A = this chain, B = another copy of it.
Amino acid sequence: METAVVPTREDAPPRREDARIVRSREALRAALLDLVERHPLDTITIRDITDAANVGYATFYRHFPTKAALLDDLAAAQIRRLIGLSMDTQQSGTIDSRASCRAIVSYVDQHRALWRALLTGGAAATIREEIIQISREVALEYRRPGSAIPDDLAFRFVASAMVETLAWWLEQGNLSVERGAELLDRLVISPVVRPVP
């Protein structure tokens, strides 16, 4: 979870990464991150990104096929960390959904600029998809007993509701982490885990 995953498939040869490759990729990530905080995602052109990254235009395509792919790459790491954190609160077998929510909101709180960028400004749809995808992966490990909600739906619901709730919480700007966790718990988690009445 902690180990940064090499984004592009490098399965066959475990060759060391050329330093230039790492540098370019990192520059592109940083550039998009920087830009998406200040502009709506779909007004950002590839050229904007490469200019901000001080990188040749074509170099973008040497690393990412698409603007969305770069965003995915950025988002996936963050989301993976986010989900990891929330999972880490569940160590002792007990399930404490409020603690998970607190961990999530707290992490988002500590990276407001980043997450504001990710959750507003047109990237939300991508993030939703990313969350669904990663949740699915994570769920394979932390297997829980079947619930009243079909898994597919649960993933989609949780991702959607969480994105919406966190976005709203960020936009308020002055709400406590605890309040955010409470809303998250109530709107996102409990509808899924609460036993049928």
Contact = CB atoms under 8 A, between A and B. Distances in A.
A147 to B, nearest CB: 11
Given A186-B191, A191-B191, A157 B152 contact: no
Interface residues of A, number: 21
B191 A149 contact: no
Contact of A168 (B148, B153, B167, B168): B153
Interface stretch (A71-79, A99-107, A133-141, A158-166): A158-166
A164 B168 contact: no
Given A125-B125, A161-B161, A168 B156 contact: yes
Q: Which of A149, A156, A187 has the most CB of B within 10 A?
A: A187
A152 B168 contact: yes
A108 interface: no
Contacts of A165: 153, 157
Interface of A: 124-125, 148-149, 152-153, 156-157, 160-161, 163-165, 167-168, 183, 186-187, 190-192
